Amino acid sequence: MLIQYQAILKESVMSTEPLYLIHLTDTHVKAPSARQFLNLDSTARLRAVFAAVRDLSLKPACFLISGDLAHEGTRADYVHLKTVLDEEAATFGVPILVALGNHDDRSAFREGFLGEAPSSNGYYHASLVDGLRIITLDSEVTAAGEKVEGWLDAVQLSWLQEQLQTTAPRGTLIMLHHPPLRSTYRLFDDRVLNNPDDLGAVIRGSDVIGILSGHIHFTSVGVFEGVPSVASAGVSFNIDPTTPRSMRFIDSSGYNLVMIREGRMIAQPLMLPGTHRELLHWQIGERFQPKAEQNPDELPPELR
Ligand SMILES: [Fe+2]
Ligand SMILES: [Fe+2]
DSSP letter (8 states) at residue 61: S
pLDDT above 90 for 158: yes
**pLDDT level of residue 299 (50, 70, 90 thresholds):** low
Closest ligand to Cα 191: 2
pLDDT score, position 297: 58
Please give the distance, rounded to the nearest whole angstrom, from the Cα atom of residue 28 to the centre of ligand 1: 7
Closest ligand to Cα 149: 2
**Domains parsed from the chain with CATH numbers:** 17-296 (3.60.21.10)
Please give the distance, rounded to the nearest whole angstrom, from the Cα atom of residue 179 to the centre of ligand 2: 10
| Percentage of residues in the chain having pLDDT higher than 90 | 78
What residues have their beta carbon closer than 5 A to ion ligand 1? 26, 68
pTM of the predicted protein model:
0.91
Question: pLDDT tens-digit profile of 205-260?
Answer: 999 999 999 999 999 999 999 999 999 999 999 999 999 888 999 999 999 999 99
Cβ neighbours, 10 Å, residue 136: 23
Q: Beta 62-66 vs 96-99: how paired, if at all?
A: parallel
Any residues with CB less than 8 A from the CB of 78 and at least 6 apart, and which? 69, 70, 108, 109, 111, 112, 113
Q: Which amino acid is at 38?
A: L
pLDDT score, position 228: 98
- CB-CB contact of 232 with 23 (8 Å): yes
**Average pLDDT for 295-299:** 58
Closest ligand to Cα 26: 1
**pLDDT level of residue 279 (50, 70, 90 thresholds):** very high
**pLDDT level of residue 38 (50, 70, 90 thresholds):** confident
Any residues with CB less than 8 A from the CB of 218 and at least 6 apart, and which? 183, 185, 231, 233, 234, 238, 239, 240, 241
Residue with the larger pLDDT of the pair 282 and 297 = 282
pLDDT score, position 74: 96
| Percentage of residues in the chain having pLDDT higher than 70 | 88
State the average pLDDT for the chain: 90
**Average pLDDT for 134-139:** 98
pLDDT score, position 112: 98
Please give the distance, rounded to the nearest whole angstrom, from the Cα atom of residue 279 to the centre of ligand 1: 15
**pLDDT level of residue 20 (50, 70, 90 thresholds):** very high
**Average pLDDT for 123-139:** 98
Closest ligand to Cα 101: 2
Please give the distance, rounded to the nearest whole angstrom, from the Cα atom of residue 84 to the centre of ligand 1: 19
pLDDT above 80 for 28: yes
Closest ligand to Cα 70: 1
Give CA–CA dist 219/235, Å, rounded: 11
pLDDT above 90 for 146: no
What residues have their beta carbon closer than 5 A to ion ligand 2? 68, 101-102, 215
**Average pLDDT for 97-123:** 96
Please give the distance, rounded to the nearest whole angstrom, from the Cα atom of residue 219 to the centre of ligand 2: 14
* 103: nearest Cα among 139, 154, 64, 153: 139
Give CA–CA dist 253/272, Å, rounded: 6
Please give the distance, rounded to the nearest whole angstrom, from the Cα atom of residue 27 to the centre of ligand 2: 10
Residue with the larger pLDDT of the pair 61 and 190 = 61
Please give the distance, rounded to the nearest whole angstrom, from the Cα atom of residue 103 to the centre of ligand 1: 7
